[in-house]
Structure 1
Amino acid sequence: MSFSAPLVLPISGPPVRDGRIVVREGRIEEVGTGRGEVHYEGILVAGLVNAHTHLQYTAMAEIGSRVYASFEDWARAFDLAYFGGQDGSWNSAHREGVWDWAAGAMDGAWQCLRTGTTAAADIVTDPEALVDTPLGGLRYLEAIGDSDASWRDGGRGRFLDLLAKADGISPHAPYSLDTGVLADLARLAAERGMRTHIHLSESVHEREFTVHGSGPLEQYVTKLGLDFAILREHGSGLPPTAYIDSTGLLGPGCHIAHGVDLTAEDRALLRERRTAVALCPRSNHVLGLPGPDVAALLREGNPIAVGTDSLSSSPSLDLLADVAALRELAVRQGYHEPDLDQRLIEAATLGGARAMGLEHEIGSLTPGHRADFAVFDLDPFSENPYRSLAERGAGRCAATVVGGSPLTEMT
């Protein structure tokens, strides 16, 4: 089978005019020129890679449909919805029948596919959401709400029982797990050869929490009844990035989500550890937070990727809408280099693949890779096709192909 379009963006190489992709047994055999058996109009690009999402929360779109005054305000609204209107804490027993997490995960996967995303770093909190979908990528099992004591008293065993069904490990955040639990999860990942993914520096309040054990996050966590060493000891003295590094989590096998409150020192530490940052600007906006310093990340050479987060904190799962938001942020922050659009599209494809260690499988149109790509209804003869995708690609996906199968064949 072969596919063609007036313009093909392989990501791993320069644009190809009158491009053709030859596919055999779901893999790319050749990228060249000519007319394919299936011809599309528009711009054909490697499948997008969503580097941070929670597909199980797709049915919680009402929570993500408004803008909140703060992260803590959003978290309270989320918790009430998650627990079915009941008071509860992160380590409470799951209540049957409140949400159909499997259906949410499947619905979210299809929403991603219809907008050109072919792989995702999906964080799974509830075991019912560990379902097979047509999306590629990795499913990270999330640990949240355990103190060192509760981890020893059954939390670790329950986590290990489910881990065989997942592809990676996701310690939720610096404020939602005890220090010993974070370190143990780092050891587990190393022992099992699994990748990790953590929310980090999503708000300035994380810094107050990890350094001093105080602030709005301390109040929020205390109300949930969680007893962490960092609270008893009045902080670790370390900012969030250094604190997480001290547990052994940072490294090339880890990528973080958000990175809104990263200092120059934080960014340098992430580069030293070769840890990528998945940027989710529309989710940051919903939570009443400023966006990340995109300009600094680009100038300093931090590896970046793009995520949507979930519909509980974002208007849609259309990854190119977040690319457009990142572009606006970068320009507003003073980044006017001519490589801006290409680097953002690379972040939304190969950047996400690299964040998950899958760059030899997805993220670019390279012989031997899985035949994942999307076509966007945009002018293929525009002067800068990367800019067209970055600025106007959201909502313009005309076709998605996964493993050589068009979306219509998978439905």
Structure 2
Amino acid sequence: MTPLIIDGAAVSTVDAAGTEHAFGHVVVEHGRITAVGPGQAPRPAGPHTWVDGSGCLVTPGLVNTHHHLYQSATRGYAPDAGLFPWLTELYPVWRGLDEEITHAAACAGLARLALTGCTTAADHHYVFPRAGGDPFAAVVGAGRRIGLRLHAVRGSMDRGAAQGGLPPDDLVEGTEEALTATEKAIGDHHDPAAEAMTRVAVGPCSPFSVSAELLRGAAELARHKGVRLHTHLAETADEEAHCLATYGRTPVEHAERLGWLGPDVWLAHTVHLSAAAVKALADSGTGSAHCPTSNGRLGVGVPPVRALLDAGVPVGLGVDGAASNESGSLVEELREALTQARQRGGPGALTTREALWLGTMGGARCLGREGELGSLEPGKLADLAVWRLDGLDHAGIEDPVTALVLGPRPVVRLLLVGGKTVVDDGALRTASVGDLARDLRAAARRLKEA
């Protein structure tokens, strides 16, 4: 690759010092950032690509720490339901999932993420109908097609209705079956390299759909294979009541008992946390994927983000499944996180810079990639977003970070993943948006008819 120079832009590096340049540059070469600084970049003598960044803000690419991409094919269901009734309505629909539908949904969901500034996405896939083929491989293939970094979480459920769980019995796996399939997914798809485009994590779904045996076995498998762990935890008051009635422990106490706290774990939602639970996450280095829009859509509550940050817990942002966040946009989660935190804790509960940190470096920490992603620093992977802020939508907002976080969703002028262009001037360059929309409509129609 020839050097690529983004010049004359505002730059928010999100490094440890919070370095920003009102008029600066970023230089990319061979898939990595080679220079970041104020003023114009020196022009190399040889061939290079020059990008006029005037009127733009450059940030690290956003990192999505929790998603269910297959749900892009089931948007709009149960719009007024809480989590358990919502799941009860959707599980029968998800019986019709197969790898073709999953691939179409995942491609559309990843395209939406790219168009809203995301360069890395963690997808938690836990629904495996018996006649559905290999939907996990379909998600991995979607990541390659759209060109985003993918942390593919091989989920599982082994507690159906007959065992007191929420999902139908025909949507769960046997405990050993799930562990064997998860180990195979790691062998087939996980890349441990620093510049990896695909990594695999281990992710039994939740305490109300997974046995203690599967949770314990999954933790042992992940650590044996050297991969990360992810699950839903402490999302609703109903979940806490279930764990207390079934195990005599809160969700966090249950997770800790089964080996599910540690620096290799990040948990989705963590809404209902006591002070002791916050301390347990902090002491163990466990991360939290905060999903503000989905939490609001399902009415599950607002997590103690300020307390988590103050305790040193790695906190990132997640879109969550498109069936509980129909927008599917990651940049909008910056504002949602800020407003919800302030509704809970007042105007000082979260700043605009902290909101951007959650969507970048906080997410990188959750995924164990803070040495590679999450900030604009020489040597890091060239995953970055260039946001256009020079139009009517942002006119008069002098501070570019405030414009990004609190203003309307800006056009992505340029999105690079490893230095490769994924979005250019607001248009996806790796796939036809028209084709993706057509395939998603067909997939959603097939599920509805089934």
What TM-score do the two structures reach when normalised by structure 1? 0.85
> Residue 267 of structure 1: SS of its match in structure 2?
helix
Identify the residue that residue 118 of structure 1 maps to in structure 2.
119
Do 1:146 and 1:155's aligned partners in 2 also have CA atoms closer than 8 Å? no
> Residue 365 of structure 1: SS of its match in structure 2?
coil
> Residue 347 of structure 2: SS of its match in structure 1?
coil
Correspondence 1:8-407 to 2 at 5 A: 8-12=11-15, 13-35=18-40, 37-40=50-53, 41-63=55-77, 66-68=79-81, 70-84=82-96, 96=98, 100-125=101-126, 126-127=135-136, 128-131=138-141, 132-133=143-144, 134-146=147-159, 151=174, 154-164=177-187, 165-166=189-190, 167-212=200-245, 235-337=246-348, 340-378=351-389, 382=397, 384-392=399-407, 394-406=409-421, 407=423
Judge which range, 11-20 or 372-381, deviates more. 372-381
CA deviation after TM superposition for structure 1 residue 35, in Å? 3.8
Do 1:200 and 1:256's aligned partners in 2 also have CA atoms closer than 8 Å? yes
1:3 aligns with 2:14: no
Partner deviation per Cα, 1:183-206 (whole Å, 9 max, x = no partner): 000000110000011110110111
> Residue 189 of structure 1: SS of its match in structure 2?
helix
In structure 2, what residue type is equivalent to 1:51?
A: T
In structure 2, what residue type is equivalent to 1:389?
A: L
CA deviation after TM superposition for structure 1 residue 142, in Å? 0.7
Structure 1 residues 300, 336: closer, same or farther in 2, change over 3 A? farther
Structure 1 residues 121, 155: closer, same or farther in 2, change over 3 A? closer
Structure 1 residues 20, 289: closer, same or farther in 2, change over 3 A? same
What TM-score do the two structures reach when normalised by structure 2? 0.78
CA deviation after TM superposition for structure 1 residue 4, in Å? 2.2
> Residue 266 of structure 2: SS of its match in structure 1?
strand
In structure 2, what residue type is equivalent to 1:286?
A: R
Judge which range, 118-127 or 391-400, deviates more. 391-400
Judge which range, 373-382 or 304-313, deviates more. 373-382
Q: Distance in 2 between matches of 1:44 and 1:150?
A: 45
Q: Distance in 2 between matches of 1:161 and 1:301?
A: 34
> Residue 105 of structure 1: SS of its match in structure 2?
helix
Q: Distance in 1 between matches of 2:331 and 2:98?
A: 35
Q: Distance in 1 between matches of 2:395 and 2:366?
A: 29
Structure 1 residues 24, 258: closer, same or farther in 2, change over 3 A? same
CA deviation after TM superposition for structure 1 residue 396, in Å? 4.0
Structure 1 residues 258, 403: closer, same or farther in 2, change over 3 A? same
Partner deviation per Cα, 1:130-183 (whole Å, 9 max, x = no partner): 324311141111112358996456333233333322411111111111101100
Q: Distance in 2 between matches of 1:82 and 1:162?
A: 21
Do 2:342 and 2:348's aligned partners in 1 also have CA atoms closer than 8 Å? no
Identify the residue that residue 87 of structure 1 maps to in structure 2.
none
Do 1:318 and 1:394's aligned partners in 2 also have CA atoms closer than 8 Å? no
Q: Distance in 2 between matches of 1:3 and 1:316?
A: 29
CA deviation after TM superposition for structure 1 residue 315, in Å? 2.4
> Residue 58 of structure 1: SS of its match in structure 2?
helix
> Residue 170 of structure 1: SS of its match in structure 2?
strand
Structure 1 residues 381, 351: closer, same or farther in 2, change over 3 A? farther
> Residue 142 of structure 1: SS of its match in structure 2?
strand
In structure 2, what residue type is equivalent to 1:135?
A: L
Do 1:294 and 1:329's aligned partners in 2 also have CA atoms closer than 8 Å? no
Do 1:295 and 1:333's aligned partners in 2 also have CA atoms closer than 8 Å? no
Unaligned runs of 5+ in 2: 42-49, 127-134, 164-171, 191-199, 432-450
Q: Distance in 2 between matches of 1:150 and 1:53?
A: 21
CA deviation after TM superposition for structure 1 residue 286, in Å? 1.8
Q: Distance in 1 between matches of 2:123 and 2:244?
A: 29
CA deviation after TM superposition for structure 1 residue 102, in Å? 1.2
Identify the residue that residue 45 of structure 2 maps to in structure 1.
none
Structure 1 residues 38, 335: closer, same or farther in 2, change over 3 A? same
RMSD between aligned residues: 2.4
Do 1:67 and 1:288's aligned partners in 2 also have CA atoms closer than 8 Å? no
CA deviation after TM superposition for structure 1 residue 51, in Å? 0.8
